[in-house]
Structures are given as structure tokens and as C-alpha cells.
Amino acid sequence: MRRVRLRRKSVLINVALATAMLTGAGFAYAAVEGDDGGTPSTRVRTGKVTKGTVMATVSASGALSSPSDAGVSFAAAGKVTEVDVKVGDTVKAGQVLARIDPTQAQEALDAAKSGVVVAQANLTKAKQGTPVQQNGGGGGNGGSGNQGADVQNTVLRGSTSPRPTPDATATAPPSGSASPPVAEPRTTVTVIVTKTPTATPSPSTTVDAAAVTQAEAALVTANNKVVDAQRALDGCVLTAPSAGIVASVSGKVGDSVSAGSSGSSGSGGSGSTSAGGAGGSGGQGASSGSSAAASGFVVLANPTGMQSKVSFSEADAAKVKAGQPATVTMNVDTATKLNGHVVSVNPLPDSGASAGSVKYGATIALDGDVSTLRTGQTANVSVVVAQADAALQVPSAAVTGTGSAATVRILVDGVEQRRTVGVGVVGDQTTQVVSGLTEGEEIVIGTTAVAGSTGSGATGGRAGQSTRGASAGVTGGGGLPGGGANFGGAGGFPGGGAR
């Protein structure tokens, strides 16, 4: 009876050992198959050296704004008599937006024109000068009082040189007469009179140069007042300086406005404000987001010249230069990409910056069609700071090290080698290779984990090392995988192995 019980016990032990060995053999087989083409835990990822464009970019976000947004106000004071637009209206350049009473402006223009007339008369008078009475003639003849003397002297000069002319003929006296009279010769004197013009008093003027200069300046000032007054009169009619969409209107008919004012004075709420705005006291209504950059009685939004002001970290800002291309996407439509370019980079840091968090602002202008964009929308900007076209490139993950120490692993006839390379532009995804590789060469990018692999003995040590040796003892040696014979002897199975 005892012998039978011992034999049964031995059979049970052998059955348990056999089950354990079969289970171990299954695990070992799975490990071997995993290395021979099954599903490994990691896999080498390779690629090729290609040609393409390598780009390096820096990114930032900011709100859109338009320099074409305009706020217009009346150029004169007066009472609003007409408001012709409302928020949301599309207007053309030159379209009338509102009017005020022009009475005050017209009176100011009339007064300015009168001032010009007075200033012109004053200038004419200053140029004519002040009359001064002076005597003319002279020159050695004793002045005007010697006129008679001049004539007399001339006569005397003529009498001292008489020219005798026989005027009577002597006749024989009649015979028998006594002492006949003798005819005396007559002397005719020719007098040559030279008439000297009489010197008469002639008026003369004295011009004060300083007075002329002062009068000219006064005329210029008067003309400028006319120009200003005319501009004020024209400004009683408010017109659109450019095409756009009405973003806000800060007054209504009956409000009183001053020159250049965007609101009324003491007239309650405004007539129209943009969506989300609230009428303020004194007629100054809140305007839309576009009025943050523009204000006036009427504010017009115009997307022409749309731009975004963004801030870059000090490391990225050092790479950004005016003229560099940029790509812009909008939060409202991430699928649409717009082209742009860097307009300027502020050399001074943003206000409020602290050590370690310094940022510099840059202005990015959007190119192309921007008609659907609105001021205030969020723009995501990516600036291309470096680019290499038609360049040899490899995935950046394949490059180890930087500068002259950069290396890449390549496969030559299936054998992995490490090669030193020269690099150029380090892009966002790829790196330019300027030496050490040729197009088409196979490179090692890295290793990837394979989903679904079991953690059994086949997963030990990757990187090209076989784990097949770990399952030694599956065949010929008996025992469980990973070790030699566990039960001594060659078989260790029923029929006589040592236990």
C-alpha cells in the first residue's frame, strides 16, 4: 500500500514538471520568433538624404490693426444739423457723413476777408512813403530869384557888341540952302536873350523799410486767416476721407460740437454707437475696437494696410530683420494662410520687461486680400529667419551634436556607421548638410517602439544586440528558458531523472 502511494506521488510530480517545461518551452519559442521576424519591442527608423528647402522660423501672436482706420471730426464749431450714416454702413471716399450749422464759420470768413482788405491798403500806403518838399535848380545862378538878372546879363552882353546897319542915305541939300541937316547914322542892336528855366519846388517821398516789412507780414497773416476760415467753413460738412465701414458715430442732430471735437457738449447720449458700445455723457459714445487707434465724430474701419504688432523673445528677436517673409494664420480660420513681411523691429524692449523675460516688438504687414479681416482679430505670425533652397537635407532628429562636432549615422551595406558632417541652416524640421553626405544615402533617424510587444525575455537590450541567447536551453539542454537544466541530467523528465 505504501509503495502504491509513493508511485502515485511520483506520477503527480512528473506531470507537474512536464506542464512547467511545456509552458517554458512556449515562452522560449515566442522569444525566438520575436527576434526572427515577429514583433520586436523597438525598430530602427531610417531615411534618405534628399534635396529641398530648409526653413527656420520664429513665431509670435498679436492683434490686427489697420493704419487706414480713420476718425473724422468737424473743423468748426456749431450745432449738428444732419447725420447721414449709421454704424455698419459702407461708405465711399468723399461721401457726406454729417453737417453742422455754417453760420459762425461764414461770419469768421467774412471778417477774415475784411482784414485782408485793410492789410493790403496799409501795405500800399507804406510803399508810397511820406512826402518831403524840396527846392530844385541852382547850379550857380542864384536860385529862382535871379531869373531877371540872368535875362538882363544876357541883354548887356548883346549891347556891347552892336552891329551898325545903315538905315538912312545922305542927300544933297537944295541949292541955296544954308547948312543943310546932316543925317546921323542909326545903330541897330540885336539882343540875344537866353531864357533859363525857372526852378520850381518839387515834392519827394521817404519810404520806411521797416514799415513796409511790417505791413507785408500783416498781409500774410490776414491771408492765412482767410485760408483757415475757409477751411473751417468747408469743415462744416463732414466727408469720408477714404472708403470704409462706419465703426462709430458720436453724436446726433441737435448736438453742439466744437472744432475738432468728436462728441457733443451737454446733449445727453449719442445717436449711434457701435455694437457693444454704450452712450456716454456729453454725447461721447463708445466706439468699436477700431476706435482704439482712431477717434472722431465718425470712425471708419478700413482693412487696407492691415498689420499686426507682435513681440518676440530676445533670442528670437535677434534673428528678425525688416523685409523677412512671414506666414500669418487667423484664429477664426486656421486653415487659411496669408503672406506677410516684417516692416520693422523695435530696438527698445517692451515696457514692463524684466530680467530674463525681455521681449521686443515687431510690426508685420499682411499682403494680398485682407478685405475680410477686422481690427482686433488675433493673428499667429511665423517669420522665416533663415532659408536654404535646393539644399541637401536630413531630418533634424538624425543629427547629433552641433557645429563642427555634428554627426549622422548612416547605413553602408546594412552596417551602421557614424560620419561627421558640415551643417548649414538648422530648420524647424530638417537640417541643411553642406558636406559629408550625398543625395540618396541611407541614414539612421532613430528607433521607435512597436506597439503590442510583450515584455517577455525577447525585449532585453536593443540597439542591434540579439536576445536569442537568452533562451538557450530550450532544445537539448532541458529546463526553463534563460537558464541551464533545472532538474539535473539531460532529460529530467519521467522515467528516471534525478529529482
pLDDT on residue 482: 39
Q: Which of 11-15, 167-171, 487-491 has the lowest mean pLDDT?
A: 487-491
Per residue in 53-110, pLDDT tens?
999 999 999 999 998 898 999 988 889 999 999 999 999 999 999 999 999 889 999 9
The identity of residue 50, as a single letter, is: T
Secondary-structure class of domain 43-68+304-449 per CATH: mainly beta
Q: CA 57, 62, 63 angle in degrees (round to 5)?
A: 145
| pLDDT, average across residues 277-304 | 58
CA 413 – CA 421 distance, rounded (Å): 20
What is d(CA 467, CA 469) in angstroms, rounded to the nearest whole number? 5
- 466-490 average pLDDT score: 37
Degrees to nearest 5, angle at CA 335 with 333 and 340: 85
Location of C-alpha cell 544954308: 178
Confidence of residue 326 (pLDDT cuts 50, 70, 90): very high
Residue 279 scores a pLDDT above 50:
no
Write down the pLDDT at residue 75. Answer: 86
| In the chain, domain spans | 1-41+466-499, 43-68+304-449, 70-101+236-301
Rounded Cα–Cα distance for residues 452 and 30 (Å)? 14
The C-alpha cell of 417 is what?
Answer: 556607421
Cell reading at 123: 501795405
The 10 Å Cβ neighbour count of residue 345 is 17
Q: How confident is the model at residue 44 (pLDDT cuts 50, 70, 90)?
A: confident
Q: What is the pLDDT of residue 12?
A: 62
Q: Which CATH architecture has domain 70-101+236-301?
A: Beta Barrel (2.40)
CB 381 within 8 A of CB 331: no
In contact, 408 and 46? CB cutoff 8 Å: no
Residue 276 pLDDT > 70, yes or no?
A: no
The most confident of the ranges 134-143, 191-200, 303-312 is 303-312
Confidence of residue 356 (pLDDT cuts 50, 70, 90): confident
Among 373, 178, 183, residue whose Cα is nearest residue 289: 373
Single-letter amino acid, residue 374: R
CA gap 152, 112 in Å, rounded: 67
Mean pLDDT of 151-173: 45
What whole-number distance in Å separates Cα of residue 405 and Cα of residue 399? 10
More confident residue, 478 or 400: 400
Q: How far apart are CA 126 and CA 116, in angstroms?
A: 15
CA-wise closest residue to 386 among 434, 332, 316, 313: 316
